[in-house]
Each structure stands twice: as C-alpha cells, then as structure tokens.
Structure 1
Amino acid sequence: MNKADRLRALLAQDTCHLMPCCFDALSGKLIAQEGYALTFMSGFAASASRIGAPDLGLMSYAEVLDQARNIAEAVDIPLIADGDTGYGNAMNVRRTVRGFARAGCAAVMIEDQLAPKRCGHTPGKAVVPRDEAFDRIRAAADARAALRDEGLDILILARTDARHEHGLDEAIARAARFAELGADILFVEAPRSEEEMRRICAELPGPKMANIVEGGQTPDLPLATLREIGFSIAAYPLSLMAAAMQAMVTTLRAMREDRRPGLMDFAELRRRVGFDDYYRISEAYASSRRG
C-alpha cells in the first residue's frame, strides 16, 4: 500500500490514534523509531525550527513543502502535512495539494483562515467567507482526483477555525460541508470544552481529529476519553518541540557550570541518526566502505 492507503487503513480502525507531531526529519524519524503509526508536520513547530519565527504565515509555500519533503523521505509512516490556507486562491490550493502529494505526504491539511494565518490557539484569528472556504476544499478534492491519473494519491484534512469568531454551530456547519465536498478527515480547531468536542464527533461524519495543545484552549483529555468521544486521531503538535526546547535551554544553562545533564548516549545518538545502517549497507560497495 502507498502511504495514503496506509493512512486510510488506520482511519478505518475503531480507535483513536495517538499522533505526536514532528517539525523536521529528525523528529519525524524518532517518532517512527518509537513505533507510532503516523505523524503530522506541525506548522507551529516547523516555523519555529526552520526560520526561528512564530507561526503567523511567515513561511512560504516552498519552505513548507521542502520541510515536508525532507520528513517524508526520512520516515516510512504516513505523514500529514500542514498546507495552511493553500497559499492563495483555489488555483493555489490545487498546486499546494499536488506539491505535497509529489513530496510523498499521505495527507495535506487545508484550512479556512484568512491569510496570513495564525496558530489556532493564539489571538488574531479570522476566517474567510463560506464560499471561499468551500472553494478551497473543492479545489483540493479536484486536485486529488487529477493526481490519480499520475498514479499519485493523497487525503484531504479539512480544518475550520470558525469556532473562534462565529461559534461552534458555524464551525460544525462548515466542516459538514467540507465532508460533502470530499474531505477525508475533519478538524474543528479549538473547541473549548468536552461538551463541544462531543458535539463535533456526534454531528459530523467520518474521521475527526482532535488537536491537543498543552496550555491551549482545547481540554487535554486522556486518549481513552478521546477514543470514547469518537475521534480517530489525537494530534499533539507541540509536545516534542516544547520538550526539545526545554532540554536545550536546560543544557545551555548547565554548561556554564561545566555540566551537561540528560544527554543521549553517543552510541544511541549515532544509531538513531542512521550511522549504523549506513555502515552496514555500505559494506556491499567497495568504494563506500571507508568510515
């Protein structure tokens, strides 16, 4: 199966998949090494990692696509990529979907925020009118259909941020229309209570994703509860980024005192990066054995 079909098979299971989110090839590789079934390239974390800037629409389409391609090449599990608003009008959305499919992503997320977009749990969010939001998802579905003629495949994760400005009823109405237009996975961002999360799953068809930001607006419910409510995916977009940043700051401060706490053993570090595999495989080629 290709990665898109592998993602479909995961979504068909009667469970809620725990999905740590990555931000570069190394974090994606660690997620795969630890046995997780899928991952998501967090736009927030990728922006912080790649350009050292907040997730406020500063990364370009080309930068995001390059980051996703690097991750997809490094992992053998399905990767969902953050396609933001599609980087323009409906024709840009088509190009965005094609680009992520050709980069090896199993799915791409397209959202209804006004550009430049904002992190879903920060101030200043606004969404485009319904017609424009629907055009984006229609264009994404059309691009997916055209890709099949090239032997490529990708799923569409449709996100709405309408809860912030217009309330949960509008967000659910938009997501329901996204499903009718061909979205494979629905994502209503930033519900503010367990009751709202239950409404989302009860009133919307197909697979739904919960987005759990530690300290964000959505309740951080146990995975078993998310499964019982009806979510198919529980995404944790900042857990690894927050852990990595905290570890780096702690180490940088400790180094002033000639301490380096909590370091990964050098042998394990080499193994996880891929040195051991490289040396093993290179033994088949006389010109590559040095090292």
Structure 2
Amino acid sequence: MRRASHHELRRSFRALLESRACYHTASVFDPMSARIAADLGFEVGILGGSVASLQVLAAPDFALITLSEFVEQATRIGRVAQLPVLADADHGYGNALNVMRTVTELERAGISALTIEDTLLPAQFGRKSTDLISVDEGVGKIRAGIEARVDADLAIIARTNAGVLSTEETIIRTKAYQAAGADGICMVGVRDFEHLEQIAEHLSVPLMLVTYGNPNLQDDARLADLGVRIAVDGHGAYFAAIKATYDCLREQRNITSKSSELSATELTHTYTQPESYVEWAREYMNVKE
C-alpha cells in the first residue's frame, strides 16, 4: 500500500483546519502508537511535551528534555506515521532563534504541525510554571518560526494560557499572534463556552483547545461553530500503557498485595521522582545575591 508523504500529511492537517468540524487528537508517543491511531481512524495525533519527557527520560514535565531528544522521538514517529502528527514544541526550546532551529528540525522529522507557547520556560526558582513571556517576545517567536519553515504547509500554531490571563489579556495576546501570521491559536485553561465565545469572536484563524476532558466544553458541534478544529483531551493512552506495564510486571512477579497497587497518576509520580528535582532546584537554583 502506498504511504503518504510528509507533505501530503501536512496537506491533510491543513484540510482539518479548513473544515467545519472539530477533531480530537490521539496521544502518540512512539511508532507503534502512531500506527495504531491511524489504523483506528484518528484524523490527527499529538506528541505531547510532557509525554515525550516521560517516555524518553522518565522525568517530570520540568522542561528537562532537550530539542535533540524531542526531535529524535518525533523522527521515529514521523518515519511510520500515516496520520498528521502535531508536536507540542513547548517554548521552542529557547528564544526566537531557538524556535527557528526547532521548526527546522521538526519539519525534517516529518511533523505536520507544531505549537509554540508563550510560557516562560524553564520556570525560575520560586516562580509559577505558568509565568508568560511578553507579547512582543511571543510575536517574535511566531514570526521566527514562520521564517524558518521550508514547507509552507507545515502549520505553526501559537499557544497561550487563557487560564492565567484575564479575558482581555487573552484577546490581546491571541490577536497579536494571529496578526503575526500564526496558522492557528491554541489555548489551555478555557473555562467554558461563555469564556470561549468572548475570545473566539475576535479571531478568524482556526482554534485548538487543550481541554483535558473539561465537562464544560464537551459539545463538538458547538466547539466547531466557534472555530475550534482541534481538541486535545489529554494523554490517556500513554498513561494506560504505563499502568498496563506495571500491572503485567507485578503479575509476572506474583505480587498480589493490594497495598502495592498504584494508579497511573501514582505510578508517574513514583517513577519520575519529582522530589529529587525539587530538592536539586532548591539547592542549586535558589541563588541569593
């Protein structure tokens, strides 16, 4: 059977953006999951930054994964994927020049689209992980990413956090990113349809929402009417894989104690050892003048 080229998959993703429907992503984290998602009829997959950190490093989502490590995993997926794959490229691994490198490498890896967010990463010690860079710096990153791409069908989507901004501030940021040439706007933290409506009325580009299954946003027809083309419910498939591995290995070792049973969330916390990273941050990042 003939395989679709990377360019054809990008055109398929563009068709999703240009449609009148809302599509839900499959969490793809390795070549096998990408093949499964395509075979099951998913229209688009997503390689999450947090998932890549877990899969490649067994590390928490503290912006520890490097661009080269992320691109290596994206390349493995892109080698076999027969559905468009959207990459969560975090902050582009640095400043606007780093964003250019990120776009170049992910385009070569076969990614169909990528999000660049305006979060201040890595987070500074003692600061929230939701701190944002300035609007002007965010605009510069989007413009730099557009300049760096070779295939014009590679979609570059600007992401911001509507959950930590006022509605007015969210509108200012998203309109600025739209004016900078972003192919779409991705938002996390949208509370409900009223919140979404207030923002969407100011935008004309396609929208992408990271909802994590928010029950106040579970109406695909209404999402589509408001311009949402891509919805990310989370990465349940990946966490199910972690849980299945744990349960299988427990059974193999004949461990039947109820006290040792762990949920996927508990497993992730246990085996990424976040306390060590917090302690290292306190020791080495808490620099006093």
Residues 124, 221 of structure 1: CA spacing in aligned structure 2 closer, same or farther, 3 A cutoff?
same
Match of 1:248 among 240, 245, 249: 245
CA deviation vs aligned residue, 1:160-210 (integer Å, no higher than 9, x gap): 12x344323212211111111111111122112332123233332121011
**Residues of 2 paired with 1:29 and 1:46: CA distance?**
17
Name the aligned partner's letter for residue 158 of structure 1. A
| Percent of aligned positions that are identical | 32
Residues 50, 136 of structure 1: CA spacing in aligned structure 2 closer, same or farther, 3 A cutoff?
same
CA deviation vs aligned residue, 1:57-111 (integer Å, no higher than 9, x gap): 0000100111111111121111111221111221111111111111111112111
Q: Number of residues paired by the alignment?
A: 247
**Residues of 1 paired with 2:130 and 2:9: CA distance?**
32
Name the aligned partner's letter for residue 231 of structure 1. V
- The answer to whether structure 1 residue 124 and structure 2 residue 121 are counterparts is no
Match of 1:167 in 2: 166
- The answer to whether structure 1 residue 45 and structure 2 residue 51 are counterparts is yes
**1:223-238 maps to which residues of 2 (within 5 A)?**
223-238=220-235
**Residues of 2 paired with 1:23 and 1:138: CA distance?**
28
Match of 1:155 in 2: 155
**Residues of 1 paired with 2:61 and 2:165: CA distance?**
22
- Asked if structure 1 preserves the Cα contact closer than 8 Å seen for 2:121 and 2:129, the reply is no
- Asked if structure 2 preserves the Cα contact closer than 8 Å seen for 1:212 and 1:220, the reply is yes
**Residues of 1 paired with 2:166 and 2:240: CA distance?**
32
- Asked if structure 1 preserves the Cα contact closer than 8 Å seen for 2:193 and 2:217, the reply is no
- Asked if structure 2 preserves the Cα contact closer than 8 Å seen for 1:175 and 1:186, the reply is yes
- TM-score calculated relative to the size of structure 2: 0.78
- Asked if structure 1 preserves the Cα contact closer than 8 Å seen for 2:120 and 2:131, the reply is yes
User: Offset at 1:141?
Assistant: 1.4
- Asked if structure 2 preserves the Cα contact closer than 8 Å seen for 1:79 and 1:106, the reply is yes
Three-state SS of the structure 2 residue aligned to 1:2 is helix
Name the aligned partner's letter for residue 158 of structure 2. A
- The answer to whether structure 1 residue 143 and structure 2 residue 148 are counterparts is yes
**Residues of 2 paired with 1:93 and 1:48: CA distance?**
22
**Residues of 1 paired with 2:30 and 2:167: CA distance?**
33
Match of 1:33 among 19, 39, 58: 39
Name the aligned partner's letter for residue 154 of structure 1. L
Name the aligned partner's letter for residue 73 of structure 1. R
- Asked if structure 1 preserves the Cα contact closer than 8 Å seen for 2:208 and 2:230, the reply is yes
Q: Which runs of 5+ in 2 are unaligned?
A: 1-6, 257-289
User: Offset at 1:128?
Assistant: 0.5
- Asked if structure 2 preserves the Cα contact closer than 8 Å seen for 1:24 and 1:46, the reply is no
- Asked if structure 1 preserves the Cα contact closer than 8 Å seen for 2:92 and 2:98, the reply is yes
Match of 2:180 in 1: 181
- Asked if structure 1 preserves the Cα contact closer than 8 Å seen for 2:183 and 2:206, the reply is yes
Name the aligned partner's letter for residue 246 of structure 2. V
Q: Which runs of 5+ in 1 are unaligned?
A: 260-291
Match of 1:22 in 2: 28
**Residues of 1 paired with 2:30 and 2:201: CA distance?**
35
User: Offset at 1:139?
Assistant: 0.6
User: Offset at 1:212?
Assistant: 2.5
User: Offset at 1:251?
Assistant: 2.8
Residues 42, 112 of structure 1: CA spacing in aligned structure 2 closer, same or farther, 3 A cutoff?
same
- The answer to whether structure 1 residue 199 and structure 2 residue 198 are counterparts is yes
Match of 1:95 in 2: 101
Three-state SS of the structure 2 residue aligned to 1:232 is strand
CA deviation vs aligned residue, 1:6-32 (integer Å, no higher than 9, x gap): 211121111001211212222112111
